[in-house]
A and B are shown apart, each in its own frame.
Chain A
Amino acid sequence: MHRFANPTRFMRYSAAVLPWAAWATAVLIVIGLYLALFVAPPDYQQGESVRIMFVHVPAAWMALFVYTGMAAASAMALIWKHPLSDIAARASAPIGACFTVIALATGSLWGKPMWGAWWVWDARLTSMLVLLFLYLGYMALADAFDDPARGAKAAAILALVGFVNVPIIKFSVDWWNTLHQPASVIKMGGPAIHLSMLAPLLIMVAGFTAYYIAVLIMRMRTEIITAKLRSLQMSRSERQS
């Protein structure tokens, strides 16, 4: 673990990994989309609109996965003071927020032909919405501090608090939904899922994960270079004065 704590080492490894991640993203998503759009059969109940599921479900999973990653990185930053952890957490936030927005928008577009409304307060969508607020709060807090290191630490505490709350919120929203739900609602994703649908779904998830890795590396490298720039500029102005 501590082998990777060195920013210089990280810069070297990440430079090597980045092109692979970028290519994997492109290849996996293209294959996944092809299978999703042209090979997978239309759903018995939902027809062709189920194609949206192949973007909606991976995006929703990634939204949760990235938040979990942020919480884990935050824990490492706070407990073990791992130097790259809070950079990783901050860099992940916009990516996770992007996935959450995609999940909400595609969920809405999937829901309109299904339920006849652009937005329904079903448990899944509502929980996604609250997750978006958690992401936005995290980003707002981290940016509010002048010192980015302190901002990252404060946001780390918030990320952990949020993470503990995610199951509580999910449970509460599920409960609230069953209290107010009249009849049955078509469950997104249907009952058991057939292999012809599972394969493109998993490939899309893999593609999205590769995407996350690629963008995460880019953003972390940017952050590390920015920190280096800051210290260089400060020592320059000290020497000149």
Chain B
Amino acid sequence: MGGYAAFVWPALGLAAVAMAVLYLQSHRSLRAREAELESLQAENSQESQQSHEA
């Protein structure tokens, strides 16, 4: 890298890490909310089934 390696790789690395962290955090948060929604909807349909049968 012509002696500039100490600057080029950290720069690229920093950008990569920042973008990866943002991506993963967004992904994880989306999955978590989706799971919550599913469980809440499952509970709701269970309850309405029970009240129908009652």
Find out whether A and B make contact in their complex, taking CB atoms under 8 A apart as touching: yes
Q: How far is the CA of A106 from the CA of B14 in the complex (A)?
A: 8
Chain B residues with CB below 8 A from A164, complex form: none
Task: State the majority secondary structure of interface residues on B.
Answer: helix
Q: How far is the CB of B43 from chain A (nearest CB, A)?
A: 8
Q: Are B34 and A225 in contact (CB under 8 A)?
A: yes
A112-B33 in contact given A48-B1, A102-B15 (Cβ < 8 Å): no
Q: How far is the CA of A110 from the CA of B36 in the complex (A)?
A: 44
Q: Are A105 and B11 in contact (CB under 8 A)?
A: yes
Q: Are B7 and A94 in contact (CB under 8 A)?
A: no
**In the complex, A222 has a CB within 8 A of chain B:** yes
Chain A residues with CB below 8 A from B2, complex form: 42, 47-49
Q: How far is the CA of A47 from the CA of B27 in the complex (A)?
A: 38
A95-B22 in contact given A48-B3, A228-B37, A229-B37 (Cβ < 8 Å): yes
A49-B22 in contact given A102-B15, A226-B33 (Cβ < 8 Å): no
- Select from chain B the residue with minimum beta-carbon distance to A227: B33
Q: Are B7 and A222 in contact (CB under 8 A)?
A: no
A-B pair number, CB within 8 angstroms: 91
Mark out the residues of chain B between 19 and 35 whose CB falls within 8 Å of any chain A CB in the assembled complex.
Answer: 19, 22-23, 26-27, 29-30, 33-34
Q: How far is the CA of A158 from the CA of B47 in the complex (A)?
A: 44
Q: How far is the CA of A90 from the CA of B18 in the complex (A)?
A: 19
Q: Mark A34-51, 1 if CB is under 8 A from B, else 0.
A: 000000001000011101
Q: How far is the CA of A55 from the CA of B9 in the complex (A)?
A: 11
Q: How far is the CA of A59 from the CA of B11 in the complex (A)?
A: 12
**In the complex, A163 has a CB within 8 A of chain B:** no
A52-B26 in contact given A98-B18, A225-B37, A229-B40 (Cβ < 8 Å): no
Chain B residues with CB below 8 A from A219, complex form: 26, 29-30
A218-B30 in contact given A52-B12, A211-B19, A232-B40 (Cβ < 8 Å): yes
Q: How far is the CA of A229 from the CA of B4 in the complex (A)?
A: 51
**In the complex, B44 has a CB within 8 A of chain A:** yes
Chain B residues with CB below 8 A from A199, complex form: none
A222-B15 in contact given A48-B1, A112-B7, A113-B4 (Cβ < 8 Å): no
Mark out the residues of chain A between 40 and 84 whose CB falls within 8 Å of any chain B CB in the assembled complex.
Answer: 42, 47-49, 51-52, 55-56, 59
A106-B11 in contact given A42-B2, A48-B2, A228-B37 (Cβ < 8 Å): yes
Interface residues of B (CB under 8 A from A): 1-5, 7-8, 10-12, 14-15, 18-19, 22-23, 26-27, 29-30, 33-34, 36-37, 40-41, 44
